[in-house]
Structure formats: C-alpha cells, structure tokens
Structure 1
C-alpha cells in the first residue's frame, strides 16, 4: 500500500478556497485506473506469463464504477470493516455482502457492527464515476463530490470502490511443452451484477490517510489509483474451460461458475492506492 503525505505550506490548490465553517478539509479528488503489464511477466510478443505457465494477452479492458466512497471510523471498537480482507468466518465479499462459512450472505453493515461492537465505519463523501474507464488507455480523471468536497471533522482512512461491471477480452496460450491447449484461444470475461440486484459486482478497498481537522492544512489533493495486472488470471486452468460456438472461452457466472468465482476472489485482492497532498489556502 502506497501512502504519502506532503505538507506544502503556502501553496493553494485551484478551486479549493477555504473559509471558516466551510469544512475541516476541502478535498480535490482525481482517479486513474489501468491494466498494467509487468516486466517480470513479459514475453517477447506481448503476452504475460501466469503462475500456472499459461500466458495471456489482454486486448480490451473496460470498467464501469458506481462510485468511490471515502470512509471514516464511526467510533469505538475494532478496526473498520474491509471487504477485501474479511474477518474469520467470511469470504468473497462483493455486491454489498460477504459469504459466511455456513453459506449465508451477510450485509457489510452487519459484519462491521460485529467487528466494532456497533461502531463500524461511516461514509464521509461519495465520488461519482459516471463514464466507463478504458484500462488500456488510462487517463487521470477529476472527480466531483457528493454531497460536497468540504468534509466534516473525521479521520478518513479508507476508500471503497464500487465496481459496477468489468469486461476483459484477449488471448490465452500455454507456455508448457507439450501444451495443455493446442493453440492460442480467444477469451472474454464479463463481471456483471446479478439480474436481481443493482449492487456493485465487486467492492475494492484501500487505505488512505486523510485527517479532516483543524490541525492540518485544509486543502487536500487526493490522487486515487487502481492497477490491475495479469495476476488476476493466475488461478485458472484454461484446459478445463470450454469454448463457445465461435471458439471463444466466454467466462460468466452462468457459463463457467467456478472460474468466475475464482476470478472474482482474485479481483477482490487488488487494493486501490491513495496519495494525499496537503496545502494551506
């Protein structure tokens, strides 16, 4: 987790004028999401090596988000509930709930209350993300705030990203000799919400250090980032996945449920990062 806090005295952030009573901190948020090839996994022709010895090349990666929530401790008790690191007895947190070991689906709020004796965490501000994100042509995108960018007094310590959908397309081949699959195959992965729910398909959580109080400079530039890599595909044995009539390995919750679940669990391990830069107005 990358966290940094720079106190830059005497510098003003554009659009973040602060007045007494306006808020304890005024945040200027931006985000960047990318699918990034890693040099240690690279082949000579654009594929990425997996821990399974398969190799993948991603040609399309598009994410839609419901927004980013900035959370602060609601007081007392244990630490804030983190869907990417559920407490013992729970696994696979997505869509506003976690899978309990007995098979029950438990809402985040109930788990947070169990962890913190009713404390849990509270949303300080929501950052809407309206347009889809092209992860292969990433851009730094300025975000608005709801209800406003002037924060109340709080210790903001977590960012919770709601992934509405994610589509990945590319090719997979085997790096072993003899190969487990004869030739390179096209694949498509579609993370989409359940038909019965409009909740995000996944929740990704990351730590941040953003005190909103009178002891720190009020203007706060917040740079949020998320990097997906080929490690997402490490759990899959592609030789067990059938192709459709077009020769494409189409991974959805209905076509390949076990592979879909494995990818969902791996997606939940990716943590967003945050960099906070503070300044006096």
Structure 2
C-alpha cells in the first residue's frame, strides 16, 4: 500500500522538474582560421598566388561582434491548441501540461506560443555574442553566449550571419617571376567599422552567411553542440597586383590608406564572399 501511495508522488515530481524546458539547448562555439593550401606551398611559410606573387602572413585576425542565428517556425502544422487533440510531438495533456515524445512535460502556454508562431518567415532566433577578435593563425574554439537564451523555442535554425567589424593583417609579399615586379616587402591592413550612434552597435564592414541545420523540436535530441567555423584561404589575395600599391614612408604596403583603397576594397570583397560552415552534434540532456 505504501508503494502505491509513493508512485503518484514520484510521477508528479518528474512533471515539475521537466516543465518549461526548451525544445533545444545550444552549446555554441565560434572559430576562424587561415588555411594554407598544400599545392601552393612555396616554402618558409609563403603561399603561391595565381598572380605569381607569394604571401606569408605574420598576423591575421577578424573582429566579430556576433553571429545571428536565423530560422523560422515552418512546418505548416496546426496553429491553435486543443488539449483534447494535442499537436504532433505531444500526448496525454492534463493538469496544465502535455507529455512530449522526448519524455518531458510542456505547459499549455508554451505550446500555444509555439503554435502561434507558425508560418515560414525567417526570424532572428538567437544572437551569439563574440564581441572580440578571432586569431586566424592560432585558432581556438571560442564558447559564446546566446541572446536572449540558448534554450530555443520550436523552430528550425537555417543559417548563421556573422557580422565582421574589423580585419587586421600583417605579412610579407614577394614576386616569384624571373624579373620581379617588386622586392620582398612587408604589408599591413587594419580596417575597423565605424561606431554606431549612441546606444547602437557599429555597422559591420561586411557579413558572412553560412548554412546551419538545427531543428528545434521534440523529434531530435535536445542538446545541440554547434561549432561554427570560418576558413580563410590564401586565394583571397589572388586578385591583388601588389606592385601597383603605394608604399608608406616606412616602405610598408599599407592597404588601409586612401592611396590603396581599390586594393583594400577588392580584398574585403573576397573575404565577404567566404562561407562559414556549421558542425552539429546532438545529444540527450
């Protein structure tokens, strides 16, 4: 008899613990790295370019304010909630909550809110705050925080949009032709986005958009280890004619100056065309 009395109490305790959990919980990291190409190796850290110039980087970093995760409810399912006829993924609705197929319990209000967000329009699901520089030469997976929360509502994250606020490069360029167009010369570039108005974020230099596939629902394991990564190859320098650049008083080719604006814009356009990638691993809570 004692066992029979305890069983309902244990079941009710389980309901209280699981109530209100998100459909998916992100554990995101962000990485950016310079990726030399083996077939372009010219020795001593130099990479051959399509122009016959060769480049070696001494330092390289991208400043990232945040990565926007964009998605939509999608699905085309029901948009109203009836406890007597729960939507897919739920069953046994009673006492203000429904049992989900994953074993948890979700409040009626949460289900109504999820269904009310139906449709296929894209919305901002979460912003991953980097708020700093990513070193391309010594890359590391950087854990980032989510705004407003790493616990996601019912949705499908379909892409990530990186906002790049600065580019910093130093290195050396040389010419591999029999008659060199320039001698081995140092170069640099530091470009930072302009500050926004008071209370607003800086306007990015450019954005990078990559595909992400993270369904947030009851059909997939809820714990999401999301590794966002950007690879920067030496091909971004292929279009530059280094011999036409104007050196500074110190002899360094500075792509940040007005005189070298065309080359700077060309390099930023190459960087802006890169596509970040996303690796997703899912686990139970």
- 1:9 aligned residue: none
How far apart, in 2, do the equivalents of 1:206 and 1:195 lie? 25
Larger radius of gyration: 2
Structure 2: gaps spanning 5 or more residues: 1-16, 76-119
Contact 1:188 1:251 in 2 (8 A): yes
Q: Shift of the alpha carbon at 1:75?
A: 5.9
Q: Does the 8 A contact of 2:53 with 2:175 survive in 1?
A: yes
Residue equivalent to 1:97: none
CA drift at 1:21: 2.7
Give the structure 2 partner of residue 42 of structure 1.
Answer: 41
2: CA distance between counterparts of 1:173 and 1:120?
50
Q: Relative to structure 1, is the Cα distance of residues 239 and 121 closer, same or farther in structure 2, using a 3 angstrom cutoff?
A: same
Contact 2:246 2:259 in 1 (8 A): no
Which aligned runs of 4 or more in structure 1 are off by greater than 6 angstroms? Answer: none
Displacement of 1:138:
1.2
Q: How does 1:215-234 map to 2 (within 5 A)?
A: 215-234=219-238
CA change 1:54–1:168 in 2 (3 A) is same
C-alpha contact 1:26 1:218 (8 A) present in aligned 2 = yes
| Contact persistence 1:154–1:213 (CA under 8 A) | yes
Q: Are 1:253 and 1:261, in contact at CA under 8 Å, matched by a contact in 2?
A: no
Matched, 1:151 2:152: yes
Higher relative contact order (CA 8 A, sep 6+): 1
Change over 3 Å in CA distance of 1:192–1:33 after alignment to 2: same
Aligned residue for 1:173? 174
Distance 2:224 2:73 in 1: 21
Q: Show the counterpart of 1:125.
A: 126
Evaluate the alpha carbon distance shift between residue 151 and residue 168 of structure 1 in structure 2; reply closer, same or farther with a 3 A threshold: same
Please tell me whether the aligned partners of residues 61 and 169 of structure 1 are also in contact (alpha carbons under 8 angstroms).
yes
Report the more deviating stretch, 155-164 or 33-42: 33-42
| Equivalent in the alignment of 2:26 | 27
Q: CA deviation at 1:19?
A: 3.5
TM-score normalised to the size of structure 1? Answer: 0.74
Task: Give per-residue Cα distances to partners, 1:36-95, cap 9 Å, x unaligned.
Answer: 22211111221001111110000011221111111114769xxxxxxxxxxxxxxxxxxx
Residue 213 of structure 2 is matched in structure 1 by 209
* RMSD (CA atoms): 2.1
User: What is aligned with 2:244?
Assistant: 240
**Residue 268 of structure 1, aligned match among 246, 261, 272:** 272
The structure with the largest helix share of the pair is 2
Pick closer, same or farther for the CA change 1:212–1:271 going to 2, 3 Å. same
- The correspondence of residues 186-197 of structure 1 with structure 2, limited to 5 A, is 186-194=186-194
Cα distance in 2 between the residues matched to 1:57 and 1:158:
32
1:147-171 superposed Cα distances (whole Å, 9 cap, x missing partner) = 1100111111101111110100000
